[in-house]
Amino acid sequence: MSKRLGLVCGSFHRDEVERMLAFASEEAEFQGLAVGDVVWVPGSMEVPLALDRLLASHDAAACLGIIEKGETQHGLAMGQAVIKTVLELQLKHDKPIGLGIIGPGAEPHHIEPRLEPHARAAVRAVMGA
């Protein structure tokens, strides 16, 4: 029986993250993982709660999104908080979480070339954990 992977997707950059979701789903199939629930959240700050809920019924999870560089340090602070909480959730649930969030600090020209590599790496990370 294959392991169930839950995916959390940030909808702020919906078009780009839909492409990431396609790459992640393809990689999951290649790795022998069954994609379970896919949850869309408004942005990166809502990712941890969705991950916490998914991990109750999935063997692993991954999150996909983009945190762009802004005019202030808000994105950096937000990204650090999200990543710290993702690490804490892995320990709480004793289940792997793949981090497929581009940024923080991503500029528009950084996004396109990172969509596929980040999405696929997030799925591969749960296989290696």
List of E strands, the chain: 4-10, 34-41, 60-68, 97-106
Token pair 């202030």 in the structure block, residue: 72
Q: Strand order in 60-68's β-sheet?
A: 34-41, 4-10, 60-68, 97-106
Q: Which domains does the chain have, with CATH numbers?
A: 4-128 (3.40.50.960)
The tens digit of pLDDT for each residue in 79-109 reads 999 999 999 999 999 999 999 999 988 999 9
Band (pLDDT 50/70/90 cuts) for residue 72 is confident
Residues 42-52, mean pLDDT to the nearest whole number: 95
Number of C-beta neighbours around residue 4 at 10 A? 17
CA-CA distance, 49 to 35, in Å (whole number)? 19
Catalytic residue, candidates 13, 74, 109, 118: 74
Token pair 């780009």 in the structure block, residue: 16
Give 73's Cβ-side CA count (13 Å radius): 3
| pLDDT at position 32 over 70 | yes
Q: Is position 110 annotated as part of the catalytic site?
A: no
